[in-house]
Chains A and B, each alone.
Chain A
C-alpha cells in the first residue's frame, strides 16, 4: 500500500523521534510513505497573526501539490491548519480565486475535492494491526491523549488511538481529559499555568491505573515531558505500537534499554 504523506517541519527537528517511529512502523506494516514533493511549512501557530491570505497560501500550496485522494498528516497542528484552510477555501469563493492566482506562478492548481486530509491516528486505526502484533507481547495499561487539534474545531475519530492500541494488545484506560488542552505554545512565555495543565493530565492517567500516556502531537509531548512531572512516561502512540510489533526501541526513537 502506498500513501501520500506530508511530514511537516517538526519531522526534521523537534519531533524527529515521532517521524522515525512512523517510518519504522510503516515499513514493517508494508506501507509505503510517498513524501509530498517540495512541501512547505504550514505556518504553525504563527499564521494567526499574519494576514489570512498568508496562512491560506501556505496550506493551499501543499494541497495543490498533493495530487491524490488522501494526504496523510502526522502533526495535529499541521492537520488543523491544512483542514481549516481547505474548509475556508471550499466555502469562500473570493479567497479561492485569489489563492488560485498566487498558485499560478508555480503552475499549481487547487482542487476543491481532493485531497482528503487524513490524520495519522485515523489511518493507523483503520489498518488491521492485530495481525502484526509480536507473539508473546504483553501490553501494560496505557491512557491516550488527543489534545486540541484532533478534537476541535474539526473533530477526528476520537476513538482512533484506543482502537489502534488495543488492536496490538494494550489495555487502554478510559480518561475524561483526553481532548483537553496541554497549554499549546504557551511555554514560550514561561508560564507556570502550563505546569498545572500538564500535571493534571498526567495525574488522571496515573490515578486511573495507566503506566504511560500515548500522545499524538509533538507539542503535547514536549509540554507533558517538560512540565508533567518527572516519572511518568509519555510516548508517541506510534512508539507504543512499534514496541508491540517487536521493533527495536532505537528505531522508534526510544532509548535502547526499553
Chain B
C-alpha cells in the first residue's frame, strides 16, 4: 500500500517553529512520499491534495487539530476512495508548544501515526431513521421563538413549561433595554401567535421525567401537574379570583398576558384542598371550568430532536447579608422593580414614602469570588434602563454604583448619554454595605450606603431612600436535572455548554439536542430570540431528513476478557454504553468513537475497531523509540 504524507505550513503557524524541510527528509527516508503546502485548507491547497492522491492509497495529514479541518480532509479522502486516512495535529501538539523539541515531537507523532495506518479499518456507515417531531423544554422567549419557527414546517412541536404560564421572564418586563420600547407590545404578539399554531402542543405545569431512545428517536415521558381549571372551557374572566376568600387568592393569573388564559389553583393555599369545603370559585364560574378532581398525568412522546431552553434567573442576593435584601425595607432587586413597574405598583422607600433618592447597585454579588465570580454582561444595560425609568417616573435623584460599565452596541452608548443628560449620577465603586443605621446623624430615616468613589477620592457615605440591587444571572433552578436526563455538559457555573462556543453556539455534544436562550449563559431578549430561532433551524435541518448517516461499529467488546467493572459505562460522556442481560451494549447512534472507554478498560476488553490494538502498540512504540 502506498502512503502519502501531507505537511501543512499553516501560513507560518507550523513552519515557524518546526523545520518542515528536515521533517520531510527524515520521513522520506522511510519510504513514504512527503508533500508540503503553505495552506492545505485553502482552495489551492485542497486542489493540491486532490490532485496528488490515487484510489487505494493511505493518507496521513500533518496540519491543525482534527477538530477543525478533520472533516475537510476526511471527506476529500472518502471521495477519492483512499484506503486509510489519519490526521495529526502538528500545530497544536508540536509547533505551538514551542520551538524547543518541536521537531522531535512532530517526528514521533508522524512516525507513530504512520505505523498505525496499515491496520486501519474504516468504520461502518449506517442509517438511522428520524422521528419527525420536536420537543422544546422551557417556554420562555427562547423556547417560544423556537417553537414558532419550527411550527412553520408543519411538524408536531411539543412545548413543555414548568410554570403555569408561558413566557418566562420576558412577560414581566416593563420597558426594554436599550430602546426603552414597551416589552409587552413585543412579547404578547408572539404569545398569541403561539396559541393559534395548530401543530404546537403546550404542556404547562409539566416536567420531563425520563428520556430514552437515541438521537432521531427519543422517547420522552412528561409529568403534568393539575391546574384544576380547564383551559379549554375557561375564558379568563377572573371572576373566581375575586371570590376566593384566601388572601392572597389561592388562584392566580399573574402575567399581564397569561397564556394559557386560565388561572391556576395552588392546592397548598386552597381551602377546598385543606378540607374546609370551600367551592366558591366553582360556584361562581359560569363556564364550569373548575375541576378539583384533576390528577397528575403522564404523557409519552416520541420525538426526533430536543431543544433545551430552560433559561436563567437572577442571583439570589439575600445570600449577601450586608446588602440587607429581604431584611431592610427599601432594598429591592431589579426584578422586583420590573414587576412593580409592570403591574403598576407604587414604589416605597425605606421610610414608607415615595423615594426621592435612589441607588442602583451594579454587580450585586457579581465578579465576587464569594458569590458569582463572572460578569453577566447584560445587567449593566438593564440597570441603566432602570435608572432612567426611575428618574423619569419618580423624578428621583438616581445614583449608579458600578465597577465597569459594560454596555454594548451604539444604542447602549446613546442610552448612557441620555442618562447623563437627565442628570443620573455615576459613581465608580462597588457597594460595601447597605445599612439602616446612619453613620451621620442627619441621615436618620434613610438607608446608609457605603461605597468609595474611586475616581474622586473623598466620599464614601451615601444616604438614599431606595436601593435597587442588580444581581448577575445563574441558571434556572432544575437545569442540573435536565442536564443529567439528557447527558448534557454544564459549565462550571451550571450553564449548558455548546459544542463550540463560537462556531456552533446552539449545538451540543449530543446529536439531536440543541440549546437556546439564556440557558447557555446570560442573554438579553434579542440574543435569546436569535438563539431560539437558530436552534429551531438547526433542528429543522436535522428533522427534515428521513434518516441520518453515522459511522458505527467503533467499539468491540471481548466478553471473555471483561471483568464486569463497568468503568467504561461510567466514563462514556455520550452515554452510548449500557449494561444489558447479555453484556455490554453499544448504542450505535450515540457512540462517536472517542475511545475513552477503551483507554479506561483495565482488562483490555474494549477495542476501537478502526484502530486495532496492534495499531496502538505500534504507535506507542514509535512514540517511545523515535530518535
Contact = CB atoms under 8 A, between A and B. Distances in A.
A203 interface: yes
B438 A200 contact: yes
Contacts of B440: 196
A196 B442 CA distance: 12
Contacts of A176: 324, 435-437
A204 B439 contact: no
A247 interface: no
A177 interface: yes
Interface string A162-183: 0000000000000011000000
A207 interface: yes
Interface in A154-211: 176-177, 196, 199-200, 203-204, 207
B351 to A, nearest CB: 14
B437 A207 contact: yes
Contacts of A204: 437
A213 to B, nearest CB: 13
A199 B439 CA distance: 8
Nearest to A199: B441
Contacts of A177: 435, 437
Nearest to B461: A196
B438 A203 contact: yes
A204 B436 CA distance: 9
Contacts of A200: 437-439
| A-side interface size class | under 10
Interface in A26-67: none
Nearest to A196: B439
A199 B437 CA distance: 11
A176 to B, nearest CB: 6
Nearest to A204: B437
Interface string B433-475: 0011111110000000000000000000000000000000000
Interface residues of B: mostly helix, strand, loop or mixed? loop
B438 to A, nearest CB: 7
A207 B437 CA distance: 9
A177 B450 CA distance: 14
A153 to B, nearest CB: 14
Interface in A123-178: 176-177
Interface in A81-113: none
Contacts of A196: 439-440
A177 B434 CA distance: 12
A248 to B, nearest CB: 35
B242 to A, nearest CB: 40
A180 to B, nearest CB: 9
Nearest to A207: B437
A88 to B, nearest CB: 23
Nearest to A197: B439
B605 to A, nearest CB: 47
Contacts of B441: 199, 203
A204 B438 CA distance: 8
A194 to B, nearest CB: 12
Interface string B317-359: 0000000100000000000000000000000000000000000
Find the residue from A176, A196, A203, A204 having the highest chain B CB count within 10 A.
A176
Contacts of A199: 441
Contacts of B439: 196, 200
Nearest to B437: A204
A111 B438 CA distance: 47
Contacts of A203: 437-438, 441
Interface in B86-115: none
Nearest to A177: B437
Interface string B395-428: 0000000000000000000000000000000000
B73 to A, nearest CB: 55
Find the residue from B437, B439, B440 having the highest chain A CB count within 10 A.
B437
Nearest to A208: B437
Nearest to B327: A176
A176 B327 CA distance: 11
A204 B435 CA distance: 11
A200 B435 CA distance: 11
Contacts of B437: 176-177, 200, 203-204, 207
Interface in A200-241: 200, 203-204, 207
B431 to A, nearest CB: 16
Contacts of A207: 437
B234 to A, nearest CB: 47
A204 B439 CA distance: 10
A196 B441 CA distance: 9
A196 B461 CA distance: 12
B238 to A, nearest CB: 42
A10 B356 CA distance: 49
Nearest to B322: A176
A207 B439 CA distance: 13
A10 to B, nearest CB: 28
A146 to B, nearest CB: 15
A204 B443 CA distance: 13
A176 B433 CA distance: 11
Nearest to B436: A176
A39 to B, nearest CB: 37
Contacts of B436: 176
Interface in B2-32: none
A181 to B, nearest CB: 12
Contacts of B435: 176-177
Contacts of B438: 200, 203
A230 to B, nearest CB: 15
A203 B439 CA distance: 9
Contacts of B324: 176
A177 B448 CA distance: 13
A203 B444 CA distance: 10
A199 B438 CA distance: 10
A246 to B, nearest CB: 34
A104 B324 CA distance: 52
B252 to A, nearest CB: 34
A200 B441 CA distance: 8
A203 B436 CA distance: 11
A200 B442 CA distance: 12
A53 B437 CA distance: 41
A177 B436 CA distance: 10
A49 to B, nearest CB: 26
B441 to A, nearest CB: 8
A199 B441 CA distance: 9
A141 B581 CA distance: 72
Interface string B118-148: 0000000000000000000000000000000
Interface of A: 176-177, 196, 199-200, 203-204, 207
Rank and list the top 6 A-B pairs by shortest CB-CB distance, nearest first.
A204-B437, A200-B439, A177-B437, A200-B437, A196-B439, A203-B437
Given A176-B324, A177-B435, 7 more contacts: A176-B435, A176-B437, A177-B437, A196-B440, A200-B437, A200-B439, A203-B438
17 contacts: A176-B324, A176-B435, A176-B436, A176-B437, A177-B435, A177-B437, A196-B439, A196-B440, A199-B441, A200-B437, A200-B438, A200-B439, A203-B437, A203-B438, A203-B441, A204-B437, A207-B437
